[in-house]
Amino acid sequence: MSSFLSRIAGAIKATYNFFVGDAIILVAVATAFVVVGILVHGLHVANPVAAITLIALIVAGLATTLGRELAGRKQ
């Protein structure tokens, strides 16, 4: 019975990690769009600078999610 419960706990943990990872990506992308919108419309920054900023912020969000996923894996 212990094996069954550990499988259930593992499935719940995997589901939690999946949704938390997606939430991190969602927040990173939303933040990136808000920041770039402020840069372009508020501060009148050139489009290439805004594009680089957008890419950098999205990659940072993906890296955060990847780091969290790798930290949660057993070695």
Parse the chain into domains and list their residue ranges. Answer: 2-72
- Check if the beta carbon of residue 39 is closer than 8 Å to that of residue 49: yes
Residue with tokens 């890296």: 63
What is the per-residue pLDDT for 22? 86
Residue-level pLDDT, tens digit, the chain, 75 residues: 688 889 998 889 888 878 887 888 999 999 999 999 999 999 999 999 999 999 999 999 999 988 988 887 765
- Check if the beta carbon of residue 17 is closer than 8 Å to that of residue 3: no
Return d(Cα 11, Cα 16) in angstroms, integer. Answer: 9
Cα distances (angstroms) measured from residue 49 to each of 11, 52, 54, 56? 43, 5, 9, 10
